[in-house]
Structure formats: C-alpha cells, structure tokens
C-alpha cells in the first residue's frame, strides 16, 4: 500500500490560494507470505521455505522477480549469509498446478526470475536452503530471512519475512576402540567408547541414553568406568557373562552440550563437542 497526496493552486487577480491536501491510497494487488515447513534449523540441515504470491487484481502479473536475502546479516562490516540455496530444490505451482522451475540465481542473494501470478490467483515457490557455518548454533540463535518481490505491476517492492529458531537438541555420535589390538587368551582387553555431543543441549538422566554392546569373544571379570569414575554392576550397568551382552542402565549416560565460538574475522561458527567416555575392561 502506498499513500499519495495532491494539492491544487488557484490564482486570480494576482492572488494565490491553495486547496486542501487530498490523500489517496494505492492498494497493492500482490500479497506475499513466507513460511518455513520445519520451523527450526540445525547446523548443516535443510530448511524448506514456501513463498506464496497472491494476486487480488483482475490482470495477471508477469515477469516478477523474487529475491531472497538468505538471512544475510552484517558481521564487522561484512555481510555473511547463514543459508545456502540447495541446488535443484525449487518447485513452482500456479493455482496448485506444477509449473516448470523458474530461472534461479543461487547468489547470495538468491533470485527467482520470470514468475507469473494469474489474475485472482496465486503462485507458490517451494525451495530449500541449508544452514551453514554462519548460522548461530547456540540456544537462542535465529535466522531472519526476507524475500522481496519486484516487477511490472508492483508499485513498491513487496516483502515477507520468516524467522526460524535453532533447534534445541543434543546431537550424539559414538566411536569405539580396542586396546591392545592384538591379544591372546586370558589377556585383558579394554574397549573405549567416546560419546560426542555437537548439539546445543546436554544429555541428562531423563533422556534415558544407553550404550549396548555384545562382546565377542565374551569378556569376564569386567571393570567399568564412566568419565573416570568406577561403575557398579546392577547399578549403572548390566552384563551377561553367558551371552556377552553389556548394557548401561537408562539415564546413566550424561553428555554435556557443545560450546560454540564465532571466528572474529570470518564470522563462521565452530563447535567444540561435549564429550563423555565409557571404558570397559575384561578378560578374554
């Protein structure tokens, strides 16, 4: 919507007088909305966006350009972009009917060209962008993403913004090693399990995280430690010497959240995972 004003001037016999100021509004016939399907993001994951262009006028709007800022923000005088367009992900629908994909410039900024919105109809653009190293992974992080629509029949640029927050969750991986690698019967062998959490939320007792393993060959005379503290069978873990099945008691595996730093020069975030270590030693 744009407001315009107009004022007339009357002159007579060398005198001048002005009329009142008349106000009018130019109503936009195009309305744009933008939504995220997922509602949250996680570093490295895709976010699906839906941009809807609705034409309330009685003539089609052609040759429109939709520009997505990919969440760009200023970092120490340089623009950085927390989203990267996922090549080939765009789909276009007109009044619900699939159309050929629009022309794409990946950017940043991301640009979709030659969009047509029929009279009293809509065009929907669906596409994906990946959260990259410039997306804040810490709790409270957000990506503010704006599209701007320009073209013939659009008197002023139309914008629509969607804000998504970072997902608050742990992200665990586990690795296992054996020491020594070469053993003989009746030797002691040690299995080390390293659990890493690259997520922004710690794993707590109520998450009921567990580690299970079936030792083959079967171990006897187990000793178990977690983060250096000794564990007691039947309290923190259970072990069946007949089958070799080892399992921690739910809620005993605790892993701190990752910590994050933003490079003061580039603006890229790096994660230092939270780590927990489970060590199981037994005789073969």
- Kindly list the distances between the CA atom of residue 65 and the CA atoms of 31, 82, 159, 218, in Å, as whole numbers in the listed order: 14, 22, 12, 66
pLDDT tens string 134-182: 999 999 999 999 999 999 889 899 999 999 999 999 999 999 999 998 8
**Per-residue confidence band for 6, with pLDDT thresholds at 50, 70 and 90:** confident
**Per-residue confidence band for 216, with pLDDT thresholds at 50, 70 and 90:** very high
CATH architecture designation of domain 30-166? Sandwich (2.60)
pTM over 0.95: no
Intrachain domains 30-166 and 172-283 with the same fold: yes
CATH architecture designation of domain 172-283? Sandwich (2.60)
pLDDT for 2 beyond 70: no
pLDDT tens string 14-61: 888 888 887 655 556 899 999 999 999 999 999 999 999 999 999 999
pLDDT at 270: 96
* Whole-number average pLDDT of the chain: 94
Query: Taking the domains of the chain in order of start, what are their residue ranges?
Result: 30-166, 172-283
Q: Residue 43 burial (CB < 10 Å; 0-12/13-18/19+)? A: buried
């Amino acid at each position: 919507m744009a407001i315009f004003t107009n004022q007339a001037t009357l002159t007579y016999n060398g005198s001048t007088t002005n009329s009142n100021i008349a106000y009018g509004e130019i109503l936009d016939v195009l309305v744009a909305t933008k939504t995220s399907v997922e509602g949250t993001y996680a570093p490295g994951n895709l976010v699906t966006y839906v941009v809807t262009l609705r034409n309330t006028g009685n003539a089609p709007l052609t040759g429109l350009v939709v520009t997505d800022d990919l969440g760009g923000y200023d970092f120490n005088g340089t623009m950085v972009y927390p989203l990267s367009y996922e090549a080939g992900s765009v789909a276009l629908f007109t009044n619900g009917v699939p159309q050929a994909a629009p022309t794409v410039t990946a950017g940043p900024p991301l640009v979709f060209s030659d969009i047509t919105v029929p009279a009293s109809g809509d065009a929907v653009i669906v596409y994906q962008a990946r959260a990259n190293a410039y997306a804040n992974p810490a709790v409270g992080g957000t990506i503010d993403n704006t599209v701007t629509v320009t073209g013939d029949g659009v008197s002023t640029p139309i914008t629509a913004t969607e804000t998504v927050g970072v997902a608050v969750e742990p992200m665990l991986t586990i690795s296992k090693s054996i020491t020594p690698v070469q053993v003989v019967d009746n030797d002691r062998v040690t299995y080390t399990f390293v659990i890493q959490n690259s997520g922004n939320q710690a794993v707590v007792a109520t998450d009921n995280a567990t580690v299970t393993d079936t030792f083959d060959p079967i171990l006897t005379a187990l000793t178990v430690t977690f983060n250096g503290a000794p564990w007691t069978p039947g309290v923190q873990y259970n072990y069946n010497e007949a089958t070799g099945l080892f399992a921690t008691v739910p809620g005993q595996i605790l892993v701190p959240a990752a910590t994050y730093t933003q490079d003061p020069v580039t603006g890229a975030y790096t994660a230092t995972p939270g780590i927990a270590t489970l060590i199981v030693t037994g005789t073969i």
